[in-house]
Chain A
């Protein structure tokens, strides 16, 4: 065999691995946890990963759009808390007015999604029209949403939500008793001792519907192309005739929409609204985006990569919890993985970034 050819092959293999290091890491992680714990490799274990991951999936997607344009959104965590409170308050308000729980949840959530566009619009306007650095603009918005949500609840978490919220938030998409019944959304009647399989939490379905839509928009539409163009070079984007200001405002609104979405999901899952509901997830969201291959300088990143990054974090957290390791170690691991991700990117740029 030609030695040159085999070294080409070897390099090709390395490139193959280098581009997929995150995926390989995820698989390794899953293998390790499957062997060290009994509960991890099971339908239940995997669904716990998805259930706890919902917040990071959504916040990660929010952050992806902003980071691709070369910005950052520090406000997502508290916009999420703000949305959880607003939606909880609205739902309680409507039910107290005598509207049926189903309708009040629907209207409350939809209204919250609308309200949730406001922080994004303000962020975007500050960044695009007044040239405020994204870091500062979104940090100010963090303070403003934090203060507003604390004022809305005055220190007491929102409560008295209808039971239906819990049923929706913690329900599953498919229920099945193997060999007998399959039903969607509704829990079937079962006899004692029968095995009921609950497949895919509702909230994961809702989250992924939106994530897929926006992943499609980012990948296949002009809007997505322009987002990458602005991140690559704002000047070039301007010269090509892209309306950078409007576009940036839209991007920050998308980010704030996803944060709001995760706030309403939180409200349904935990049946309450809390100001600091999303505070610990800001770091996780940014880390997931960076692990997913995005660059903080803008122009690079995909929703798929971000979801992979989110899964790595979520599997890590769930696995460590099942193993009974104190969650403190999670922070150390996340910090180390973050730095490793960037180092791999720095040292093997030719392996990871395609040259086509």
Chain B
């Protein structure tokens, strides 16, 4: 008995220390990774590289945010990667046609993006309706849309990326808010005119446009999930479907809205992808965007059982995966190790979650 008592006291003392560590392990691990890579990789710890990591994370931030909502309700959306491909290819195709018809660049970009985003609502509506109204398991419904959207995408682009798009796209997608040439020039959104090559090399670029874009979208999503009724209902449905029905939440409508939102965000990611790469690319099988997005959400502390998860956590998870890839490649590690690393981190995330259930 006495031994037992001491044991619990010790456990309490050690867990008092452990609680903050285990609760914030993802943040701690992120800083650890940054510290390690700063020593192993030349040029890792620099403004340029950090901005680069965030710039390359944009798509995954959007997809992970989409999955966060879905996973909180206890579902899963496997179609995001291919919905993203569909909206990429579709918007690029329209931009290409309008651009070829000599429409002004901003107009063709705007129309193309709008169409891509609007069409991307449809897969979400369909899978939401299948899940909510016809009781199809989310895994199956979204796997079905995975096949359908992939087929339609490949049909539109015939298996080739779509190019010859307006040149302004890439300028916007890969541009920065501020450009500073120390002591000489400062400009907003555009590079200062009339620079020589050597000066361009010295140019300091601050705050990528893509970061502004993703911060805006993520802020709205964070606010909705944390401070509105819609967010509360999302958690309630994930916690207990029956209880939410009894509490008078229109679960069916809510689920359809959630899957449509997820699909919309995937569409947004697809259009952004066109801005970033300047081509409309379909999603190859090996990309597995949806799985990496889900991995980010799980690292961020969500549970596949539903009822748990947060936008900030998912963002940390999504950035961690990109940071890991970037850090490993800068440190000269072969790129293939990153698959293994992501797998191991994912297992670690869940095992930590399992070991300290009372902490979360």
Contacts and interface: CB of A to CB of B under 8 A. Distances in A.
Interface of A: 72, 74, 126, 130-133, 135-137, 139-144, 146-148, 150-151, 154, 276, 279-280, 283, 286-287, 290, 296-297, 326, 328-336, 338-339, 342-343, 346
A338 B48 CA distance: 46
B343 A143 contact: yes
A257 B294 CA distance: 27
Contacts of B294: 135, 139
B347 A331 contact: no
Contacts of A143: 339-340, 342-343, 346
Task: Identify which of B130, B341, B350 gathers the most chain A CB atoms within 10 Å of its CB.
Answer: B350
Contact of A331 (B150, B286, B304, B341): B150
A135 B350 CA distance: 11
A339 B339 contact: no
B134 interface: yes
B350 A136 contact: yes
A330 B244 CA distance: 39
A140 B344 contact: yes
Nearest to A77: B285
Interface in B124-152: 130, 134-137, 139-141, 143-148, 150-152
A335 B127 CA distance: 11
Contacts, number: 133
Contacts of A140: 342-344, 346-347
A279 B286 contact: yes
A148 B338 CA distance: 10
A338 B337 contact: no
B147 A332 contact: yes
Contacts of B341: 147
B249 interface: no
Nearest to B355: A130
Interface residues of B, number: 45
A136 B71 CA distance: 13
21 contacts: A130-B350, A130-B354, A131-B354, A132-B347, A132-B354, A135-B76, A137-B347, A139-B291, A140-B346, A143-B339, A143-B343, A144-B343, A280-B285, A290-B140, A328-B155, A330-B151, A331-B151, A335-B145, A335-B146, A336-B147, A336-B148
A320 B150 CA distance: 17
B139 A296 contact: yes
Nearest to A290: B140
B136 A151 contact: no
Contacts of B151: 328-333, 335
A329 B155 contact: yes
B136 A150 contact: no
Contacts of A283: 143, 146-147
Interface in B27-57: none
Contact of B136 (A139, A276, A280, A346): A346
B154 A331 contact: yes
A296 B76 CA distance: 13
B159 interface: yes
Contacts of B147: 283, 287, 331-336, 338
Contacts of B360: none
A139 B143 contact: no
B147 to A, nearest CB: 3
Contacts of A133: 304-305, 350
A136 B286 contact: no
Contacts of B141: 339, 342
A343 B347 CA distance: 34
A345 B70 CA distance: 24
B351 interface: yes
Given A147-B343, A279-B286, A132 B143 contact: no
